[in-house]
Chain A
Amino acid sequence: QKEVEQDPGPLSVPEGAIVSLNCTYSNSAFQYFMWYRQYSRKGPELLMYTYSSGNKEDGRFTAQVDKSSKYISLFIRDSQPSDSATYLCAPGAGGTSYGKLTFGQGTILTVHP
């Protein structure tokens, strides 16, 4: 079983839709949670991060973490065609492993006008 599982999609939604992207993880040592966005033929770029359970909002994006159920979500409100990309969840552990991330498979999202 992989440490991080992410539904690869692909996910296709109309412009303006609310998008929900989800990951589950099995490693209780994960302490912080990143979401990366990757446009086609580009390197991943950090979108959001959170260090605790609960919600964190940044504009149209909300990251949600439930450590008790080991579940990570990213919500995109009022989705735009420019949001079309692959989204990667990436939790990380502390201690001697701080800085190392474990990536999910990525979810391919297409927002059509």
Chain B
Amino acid sequence: NAGVTQTPKFQVLKTGQSMTLQCAQDMNHNSMYWYRQDPGMGLRLIYYSASEGTTDKGEVPNGYNVSRLNKREFSLRLESAAPSQTSVYFCASSEAGTQYFGPGTRLLVL
């Protein structure tokens, strides 16, 4: 039982490049989330998916897209990366109100 896994662990991009962050959970949870964490800002919700086939915007969705591929997987895509998207990205899944987090992806956009 791996819980929530994220790939890659670390990525460096140049401004304008695109990339997809992958997230998978093996806990059979319906809800999944993408957050970014910046110093002094806490965790801010980018997008979430209450169930397979549905996605909704969170607090900071601009510049991102998501895909809920199936119940297990929820990916986050940056179409044209900007330096302001340098951050640590966390994926989470939830059941009964409790969220379980992955180990995070550190993204640096130059």
Q: Contact residues of A with B, CB < 8 Å?
A: 4, 6, 8, 32, 34, 41-46, 49, 88, 90, 92, 98-101, 103-106
Contact = CB atoms under 8 A, between A and B. Distances in A.
Nearest to A3: B59
A94 to B, nearest CB: 9
A101 B99 contact: yes
A34 B42 contact: no
B42 A43 contact: no
Contact of B97 (A4, A41, A44, A92): A92
Contact of B40 (A42, A46, A100, A105): A105
Contacts of B40: 8, 105
Interface stretch (B12-20, B69-77, B101-109): B101-109
Nearest to A32: B97
B48 interface: yes
A103 B40 CA distance: 12
A43 B102 contact: yes
B42 A105 contact: yes
Nearest to B100: A46
Interface string B11-41: 0000000000000000000010101000011
A46 B3 CA distance: 13
A88 B45 contact: no
B100 A99 contact: no
Contacts of A100: 33, 45, 48
A46 B94 CA distance: 11
19 contacts: A32-B97, A34-B97, A42-B104, A43-B90, A43-B101, A43-B103, A43-B104, A44-B90, A45-B101, A46-B98, A88-B43, A90-B99, A92-B97, A98-B97, A99-B31, A101-B99, A103-B43, A105-B41, A105-B42
Nearest to B48: A100
A103 B90 contact: no
B62 to A, nearest CB: 19
B50 A99 contact: yes
A39 B98 CA distance: 18
Interface string B61-88: 0000000000000000000000000000
